[in-house]
Each structure stands twice: as structure tokens, then as C-alpha cells.
Amino acid sequence: MVFSSLTATAALFATVTGSRKNGSLIMVFRRRVVVTGLGVVSPLGIGKEKLQKNIIAGKSGIKPITRFDASLYPCKLAGEIRDFDPLNYVSEREANRTERCSRFALAAAQMAMEDAGMTEKDIEPEKTATSFGTTIAGLGFSLEQYDSMIEKGPLCIHPHTSSMILPNSLSSYVAIAWNAQGPSKTFSSACTSSFDAISYGFDLIKAGRADVVLAGGSETPLFPMFFSSLSLSKILSERGQDNGRTPRPFDAERDGTILSEGAGVLILEDYHRSMARGAKIYAEIIGYGFSCDAYRIRAPHPEARGIREAMQRALLSSKINPEKIDYIQAHGTGTKIGDVLETQAIKELFGEHAYRVKVSGVKSMLGHLMGASGVVELCVSLICLSAGMVPPTINYEHRDPQCDLDYVSNMARRAKVDYFMANCFGFGGKNGALILENIDSSI
């Protein structure tokens, strides 16, 4: 393999720290984790170029639902992927053996590897891992097969249904596609699922158990049963045909979120390996934090204690002060309570600096991709920041006195960002935060 000796060579140039024990100097190698590639399938575009253009222009990917008849639902909008052809990414044989969620994951993984400038020949299989997150994986396909069985008989379902509907199929299919023989995991922790996947990949590289990790998430929740459930829960916006003007994170007239589908994959790589092969670097991941409200399944803690704790743990893990953060990629769902609590937690943790931090709610353009939301939104931040821009929060028209931070309203803004935080919160009180550093500030 091309990099079988490259990793060992790169280690010679690794950052080291020294300590003395019994008069002897002990050298400890400090491994760093960087993002060297990304791939994305989103309602605002497939691939980073189209997504970047639409995000910076402040466009919305929210349109009337076409996947099923939504005439009886209060919400008739969603973030659908309408121009996806799986044969652009997998063979016809593989397309027939995978369902939509896995196809999205495979497509995003291929784009990410190409963006990182790597092929299968450039990686060591045993040191390459796959780590994915999803909330419901192939549940929609499972229900379709159940309907087919009831209507046509017990032997009239897809012969690969048993493997196609499993959540672990995401990481497995991608591992097979890239001959990644290292650890392979799929996480399901509601909306924080892809952040769990990224943090696991981060830990693998830090511990020396992997040199490259394909980390991400995929979600295809646009089917009637799940849509009905969220409608009954009053989680979805009821603006009906209000195209492109909902969701409205942090706006005083927000009334809920919009459900979307898609996938995102990051290539996480050991810093010294990436430098040795001359890779471009989007950012370095320097820490993360997670918490659980331990309060209610569908309601965050009213004092935002879990949200605040996750962000604080991320800062402690990163060993930086809150004043270092220039930008926050907010969870910002557009729900009445959630946006207030996230704003409250930011103000409590950051103090006066909270009013100097730029905060973006990109679900205003993408909708809510459930378990894939964290990684897809991270892709948005990385591609915008690489162009020197901070993504906007569109549909922000009415100030809410409880949401009084700088939400980069309606227009992308040119800004220098050295450190930024990404937030993700989900059902069951799951809370996650990542902190990334512009690599230029650490060279």
C-alpha cells in the first residue's frame, strides 16, 4: 500500500511532549485529528460545490412533499432529495441490494474520499474505520416490505430485506465499498447520532487504533407513519404551503421544524499522515462533549442544564476558554422552547462574550435531517468557512426578546473564524457539542 510506510515516516515528525520518570525522558506522541474530505447529499444540493453556492446565497431547500400524499397533514413541506441517481455512485447490483438510506451513505462516502484525494489504494485497510449515525435507518423500507407482504403474501418481499433494514448496514456497506477493515460502528442516539459517530472516529485516531475514519450519518425519515407521529407531536411547522419561509430558527414567529432527508460523511485523518501526503485540511477537531438531561423523552430540561453541560465539557476537552469561540453552529430547530433554551445555555456559559459570537441556524435552509443533521450541518460550516464566510440564518424577521444573540440573520457574512463550536441535541435529552479549530491558526 502507498501509505504502509508513509504513516511510520510521518510519525517521525509528530508533535511530542516530554516528561521525566526516574531520571529518564519519556517521549509521548500527540496525535491530532483533522478533516481532509467531505461529501454530502442534502435538500440544497448533492456535492459540496452546489451546497456551498446555495447556502451562501441563503436559499431554502424546503418544498412541498412529493414522496407521498400530504394533503391531510398540517405540514405539507419537507426537505426532499429529488435529483439523486444511485447509479452515479454504486453499481446496479449494489443499488438493488441497498435501500435509500444506505445509498445516501455510500454516495456521501464516495464524494468525501474523492474530496480527500484518496482511493482504496491509498489506505491501509486495517487502519481504516467506518463510523455512522442514524435515527431510524431503513424503517421506511421495512414498512414498505411489510405492506407488500400483507398485500401479496409472505414470500413477496425483497430477498435482502433482513440486511437492508439494519442500522448497522450503513457502516457495513461503506466498509465493504472501501475495504475498511478497522472498527465499524453505527450509532443511534436520536439527533446526536452522527456526532457520536464523529467523536468515536476522533477517539480511534487519537488512540492510534485508526489512521483514517469515514465518519458520518444518513437519514431517510420521509414516510407517512413517521411524518404522522411528528405531526401529532406538534414538532413540525404548520405553515402549510409557506414555501421557503419555514423553519424559522430563533425568530419570534417560529412554530416548529421541517423534516428532511440526506447524508454527510467526513474523512477524519491523523494530522501527520495528512501532512505527509500533502492533503488539504478543512479544520482540526480538538474536543467534544456529551450529556443527557435525564429528564423527559420529548422535552429538554427547562433549565437547559444538559445543553450547557455538553458545551462546557466540549470546552474542557478542547482546553480552551469560551472567549476563543468565534462562531457557533447552533442546533436551532425552530421550535418555541428549543431555541430559547439553546440561547439561554449559550449566554450562561459564554457570559458577555455570547453577544460577540456569531450563531447560525442552518436548519432554516436544510430542515431537520434527524440523525444526519449534525454531520450535514458540519459540512455546511466547513465549506462556508473555507470560503471565508459564515452561513446565515434565513427567515429571521421578527426579534424574540428571549433570543437576542447575533444569528447572522438572512445573509451570509464574511468573517475570520479560528475556533467554532457545533451543537446537536435530540430526543431523550441527548446533547452533543464539537469544537473545531481552523488549522491555519495551529501551524
Annotated catalytic, 331? yes
Average pLDDT over residues 41-64: 97
List, for residues 147-181, the tens digit of each pLDDT value. Answer: 999 999 999 999 999 999 999 999 999 999 999 99
- Is pLDDT above 60 for 18? no
Cβ partners under 8 Å of residue 23, min gap 6: none
List, for residues 291-306, the tens digit of each pLDDT value. Answer: 999 999 989 999 999 9
- The pLDDT, as a whole number, for residue 435 is 98
- Is pLDDT above 80 for 4? no
CB 311 within 8 A of CB 289: yes
For CA atoms 379, 236, 359, 32, the dihedral sign is: negative
- The pLDDT, as a whole number, for residue 10 is 42
Catalytic one among 368, 379, 384, 424?
A: 368
Q: Identify the band that residue 240 occupies on the pLDDT scale cut at 50, 70 and 90.
A: low
CATH architecture of 33-276: 3-Layer(aba) Sandwich (3.40)
Average pLDDT over residues 124-140: 97
Q: Where in the chain is the domain with CATH 3.40.47.10?
A: 33-276, 287-442
- Is pLDDT above 60 for 327? yes
Give burial (CB, 10 Å; 0-12/13-18/19+) of 4.
exposed
d(CA 87, CA 171): 19
- Is pLDDT above 70 for 106? yes
Q: From 197, 199, 205, select the one nearest 32 (Cα to Cα).
A: 205
Q: Which CATH superfamily is domain 287-442 in?
A: Thiolase/Chalcone synthase (3.40.47.10)
Q: Identify the band that residue 244 occupies on the pLDDT scale cut at 50, 70 and 90.
A: confident
CA angle 243, 410, 81 (to 5 degrees): 40
Round the CA-based radius of gyration of the chain to a whole number and report it. 21
End-to-end distance of the chain based on CA atoms, in angstroms?
28
Task: Please report, rounded to a whole number, the percentage of residues in the chain having pLDDT higher than 70.
Answer: 92
Which amino acid belongs to residue 114? E
d(CA 84, CA 107): 9
Catalytic one among 331, 379, 384, 424?
A: 331
Query: CA dihedral defined by 436, 376, 313, 339, rounded to 10 degrees?
Result: 120
Angle, helices 48-56 vs 373-385, to 10°: value is: 80
In the numeric block, which cell numbers belong to residue 390?
459564515
Q: Identify the band that residue 279 occupies on the pLDDT scale cut at 50, 70 and 90.
A: very high
Annotated catalytic, 101? no
Q: From 36, 34, 38, 40, select the one nearest 264 (Cα to Cα).
A: 40
- The pLDDT, as a whole number, for residue 271 is 97
Average confidence score pLDDT of the chain: 93
- The pLDDT, as a whole number, for residue 6 is 42
- The pLDDT, as a whole number, for residue 29 is 64
In the numeric block, which cell numbers belong to residue 243?
414555501
Cβ partners under 8 Å of residue 358, min gap 6: 326, 327, 328, 390, 406, 408, 413, 415, 417
DSSP assigned state of 43: T
CB 242 within 8 A of CB 76: no
Instruction: Name the 3-class secondary structure at 387.
Output: coil
- The pLDDT, as a whole number, for residue 440 is 59
- The pLDDT, as a whole number, for residue 239 is 80
Q: Identify the band that residue 22 occupies on the pLDDT scale cut at 50, 70 and 90.
A: low
Average pLDDT over residues 186-211: 98
- The pLDDT, as a whole number, for residue 11 is 42
- Is pLDDT above 70 for 262? yes
d(CA 2, CA 285): 26
- The pLDDT, as a whole number, for residue 5 is 39
Annotated catalytic, 368? yes
In the numeric block, which cell numbers belong to residue 218?
444518513
Full DSSP string of 265-333: EEEEEEHHHHHHTT----EEEEEEEEEE--S-SSS--TT-HHHHHHHHHHHHHHT--GGG--EEE----
Q: Identify the band that residue 99 occupies on the pLDDT scale cut at 50, 70 and 90.
A: very high
- Is pLDDT above 60 for 411? yes
Q: From 6, 9, 25, select the one nearest 17 (Cα to Cα).
A: 25
d(CA 399, CA 251): 6
Catalytic one among 75, 101, 191, 384?
A: 191
- Is pLDDT above 70 for 135? yes
Query: CA dihedral defined by 10, 13, 15, 19, rounded to 10 degrees?
Result: 110
